Amino acid sequence: KAGVTQTPRYLIKTRGQQVTLSCSPISGHRSVSWYQQTPGQGLQFLFEYFSETQRNKGNFPGRFSGRQFSNSRSEMNVSTLELGDSALYLCASSLVPDTQYFGPGTRLTVL
């Protein structure tokens, strides 16, 4: 079975721009979660989707949004990028309830 894939792997943007990151879960997994990892804050939960519905949301501003499609693929969007949004963005999928499988991440740099 193919693992969780994330695209793109690396991204450089400038302040004020917006960005869309994509995550394809393991086939059959309907739950997709997104996390942000920074050196200062560590890993933080962004949102969780299950069957196209956002089930949970972490404590992030409204500039961070996401969605899930009928094939369970998920996207997250960050609008009006700030320097502090530079981070590794990780996506994880799971068969509920089961171990989460993490993707390789997208490293976003905001200049």
Partner 1 sequence: KNEVEQSPQNLTAQEGEFITINCSYSVGISALHWLQQHPGGGIVSLFMLSSGKKKHGRLIATINIQEKHSSLHITASHPRDSAVYICACARRFDYGGSQGNLIFGKGTKLSVKP
Q: Residue 88 interacts with partner 1 (CB under 8 A)?
A: yes
CA distance 96 to 111: 38
Binding mask 18-57 for partner 1 (x = CB under 8 A): -------------xxx-x-x----xxxx-xxxx----xx-
Residue count, binding to partner 1 (CB under 8 A): 30
Cβ burial, residue 5 (10 Å; 0-12/13-18/19+): middle
CA dihedral 8, 75, 2, 56 (to 10 degrees): 130
Q: Cis peptide leading into 97, omega within 30 of 0?
A: yes
Among the listed ranges 19-27, 61-69, 75-83, 92-100, the one in contact with partner 1 (CB under 8 A) is 92-100
Q: Residue 11 interacts with partner 1 (CB under 8 A)?
A: no
Q: What is the contact surface with partner 1 in residues (CB under 8 A)?
A: 31-33, 35, 37, 42-45, 47-50, 55-56, 58, 88, 90, 92, 94, 96-102, 104-105, 107
